[in-house]
Chains A and B, each alone.
Chain A
Amino acid sequence: MGALSEFRLLSPASAAEAVRLRGAHPASRFIAGGTDLLPNMRRGLVGAEVVIDLAGIGEMREVQHTGDVLRIGARVTLATLAADATVLARLPALAQAALAVAGPTHRNAATLGGNLCLETRCQYFNQSEHWRQANQYCMKLAGDVCRVAPKSSRCYAAFSGDVAPALLALGADVEILGPQGVRRLPLAEFYVDDGMRWLALGPDELLLAVTMPLANGWVSTYEKLRVRGAIDFPLTGVAVALRRDGDTIGELRIACTGVSSRPEFIAGLDELAGKPLDDAALATAERHIKRGIQPMETTLVSVPYRRRATPVLAKRLVRRLWDEGS
């Protein structure tokens, strides 16, 4: 792996100062844990003349539990998140997703915000400069065509964060700080289905925190498929949240990762409300999942496998939650 290019390292003490610095230095990047950004910079995938370190911003490391809302700062590490008592007890999908990211050593550095903003990935992009040059580059960096969809006008690199689908299923919102102040939007609106511009985040905006309801009656879970049991990014990842009304489905939410350029909240599942969880309901869920995802040749593992495995994993998790929720 190559050496890091030269850059200035700035260490603001507040989020407002970080946003001001980002605005003052157009060729800058925020760094939190750095577990994804630094290898990407060393491969020449990301460049920056100024790197703004968020490590010293205490306000972004807070977990606040107010009434029925949990607010988690974007700089909270995944290890802290996975061990938080409220998250473990009330939002198990979030704890499981945080624990599914990479390995334990990464999670001590990697952050909630970093995983939500994770650079999209593709087997034609996450390679050395030498490899990419020998393969005529790709649209995401220095090339003209998307190598997995050559006729397409857009890039199909896959979003591969584990935490985002869990938070989508749990109904989270994001807080974004920009020069004009704080704006809030549902997490689903934070993402764009485009491998090159996958975040609805302005150039001088900073993801500050995530808020989510602590609603009663919900059970949730997250699981991913990967080649090895640790370190690897998801081939597909599925988060499920279920509210059971006696013998019928109150509400079912499913979100997937690794199978589109954004984490996908599966639409159409509200038609299952009031119905029992039987084979017909699971078949309906499978139909909506297959319609909602679009795995491409972004990994060495084949598209048909990921397309078939995603609903299988989802149905397995729904059945497990159904039994838990009774």
Chain B
Amino acid sequence: MKTLLRLSVNGRLREDAVAENALLLDYLRDTLGLTGTKQGCDGGECGACTVLVDGQPRLACSTLAHSVAGRRIETIEGLSTEGNLSRLQRAFHEHLGSQCGFCTPGMIMAAEALLRRNPQPSRDEIRAALAGNLCRCTGYVKIVESVEAAAACDEVSA
């Protein structure tokens, strides 16, 4: 049965009729067309579907859409402003943090939550924050370096 779901997605308030058994992942991808959030393992084991709920990284594949009613959702599409990549997106691009790209939106959203909470994380803190995100291409080194570069870029601009 569909009922009305009110929430904010990437800064925009929305009201949609959504099935009570719909996952947040299906709502974002199928109802809103925000396909940047990836459907990977689809069982909570890979982190490709990571989005922010009130600033905290959460797995959209293991979250009911209605359970985040009234909350603030951010997806990878919400990071760039006026066509400009965010600091993390730019760092992943410039430091080869992305290869096939499938894990990248989840990695960047988990890293975004980390940098908001801890603008200058250590390498261990970055690895801990990304521990729930799997990548089968990079071996993680370039991903960690990309997050470090984004943090350093912040330091310079500050």
Which residues of A come within 8 Å of B, CB atoms? 1, 4-9, 11, 31, 34-35, 38-39, 42-43, 51, 53, 55, 79, 102-106, 108-109, 229-231
Is B144 an interface position by the 8 A CB rule? no
Number of A-B contacts (CB under 8 A): 86
Interface size on B, as a range, is 20 to 34
**CB-based contact B58/A38 at 8 Å:** no
Which residues of B come within 8 Å of A, CB atoms? 1, 3, 20-23, 41-45, 47, 50, 53, 56-59, 61-64, 66-67, 110, 128-129, 131-133
Expressed in whole angstroms, the Cα–Cα distance for A35 and B128 within the complex equals: 19
Query: 3 tightest A-B contacts by CB?
Result: A103-B132, A230-B131, A9-B20
Which of the residues B44, B53, B64 comes within 8 Å of A53, measured between beta carbons? B64
Expressed in whole angstroms, the Cα–Cα distance for A104 and B63 within the complex equals: 15
Which B residues are in CB contact (< 8 Å) with A9? 3, 20-21, 64, 66
**CB-based contact A105/B64 at 8 Å:** no
**CB-based contact A104/B44 at 8 Å:** no
Which B residues are in CB contact (< 8 Å) with A4? 21-23
Which of the residues B1, B23, B41, B45 comes within 8 Å of A38, measured between beta carbons? B23
Give, as a whole number of angstroms, the nearest-CB distance from A202 to chain B. 25
Expressed in whole angstroms, the Cα–Cα distance for A103 and B42 within the complex equals: 15
Give, as a whole number of angstroms, the nearest-CB distance from B75 to chain A. 14
**CB-based contact A109/B59 at 8 Å:** yes
Closest to A37 in B: B62
**CB-based contact B132/A104 at 8 Å:** yes
Which B residues are in CB contact (< 8 Å) with A102? 44, 132
Which B residues are in CB contact (< 8 Å) with A34? 62-64, 67
Expressed in whole angstroms, the Cα–Cα distance for A102 and B44 within the complex equals: 9
Given contacts A105-B47, A106-B59, contact A5 B131 (CB under 8 A): no
Closest to B60 in A: A105
**CB-based contact B67/A103 at 8 Å:** no
**CB-based contact B43/A231 at 8 Å:** no
Which A residues are in CB contact (< 8 Å) with B58? 105, 108-109
**CB-based contact A7/B44 at 8 Å:** no
Which A residues are in CB contact (< 8 Å) with B47? 103, 105
**CB-based contact B131/A53 at 8 Å:** no
Given contacts A9-B21, A105-B58, contact A230 B64 (CB under 8 A): no
9 A-B residue pairings within 8 Å (CB atoms): A6-B21, A9-B21, A9-B64, A11-B66, A35-B59, A102-B132, A104-B132, A105-B47, A105-B50
